[in-house]
Amino acid sequence: MGYTHSWRRARELDAKAFAAAMADCLKVVDAAQARGIVLEDLEVEPDAIFFNGSCETFVVERVSSRRDHLGMEPAGFVFEFCKTAHGPYDVAVTACLVVLKSHLGDAILVTSNGGIHDWQDGIDLAAEIGVACAWDFLPSGSDWGETLEPLERAVRS
């Protein structure tokens, strides 16, 4: 499957929290580009962020357009992912995921098949723009079922 970051989230995210996250993601993008990281097909809008760096496009929309074609997600949830193949833009992807988790809290659950050492540069980049990594990192092989309760509460509220 390759090196992948994945997240489960509410299909529709809070507009105010998402707008704040997008403002910080724009700071992440600017800081990454200042480091010489190439981000292709870049769009940061009030309701979405898109960019690529060599593998898959990182996409997060306030109201997800992704459909659960297999019927595996509980109602109100969506599963999303981005394979980065450890490319240079992985730093921007992980930093944006730190930002999203910081702003959205229990409305998003982030994991990766990388470990904390793979995320450290992204965590540091997020810290540079003033966003601390505010959650316990879920290591490779996390059991989604054990971690969905806060997300389910956030979706239902």
Count helices and strands (H / E) in the chain: 5, 6
The answer to whether 58 and 87 are in contact (CB under 8 A) is no
80, exposed or middle or buried, with CB in 10 Å at 0-12, 13-18, 19+?
middle
Measured CA to CA, the distance from residue 69 to residue 19 in angstroms comes to 28
The whole model's pTM is what?
A: 0.86
Q: What is the mean pLDDT of residues 93-98?
A: 96
Looking at residue 79, its pLDDT comes to 87
Residue 143, number of CB atoms within 10 A of its CB: 8
For the chain, strand residue ranges (E) read 4-10, 40-45, 48-52, 58-61, 77-83, 108-112
Looking at residue 124, its pLDDT comes to 94
Residue-wise pLDDT tens digits, 97-141? 999 999 998 889 888 888 888 899 999 999 999 998 876 655 444
Looking at residue 146, its pLDDT comes to 44
Residue 10's pLDDT band, with cuts at 50, 70 and 90, is confident
Residue 7 has pLDDT above 60, yes or no: yes
Q: Which domain holds residue 88?
A: 4-156
Pair of tokens at residue 89: 């833009």
Domain count, the chain: 1
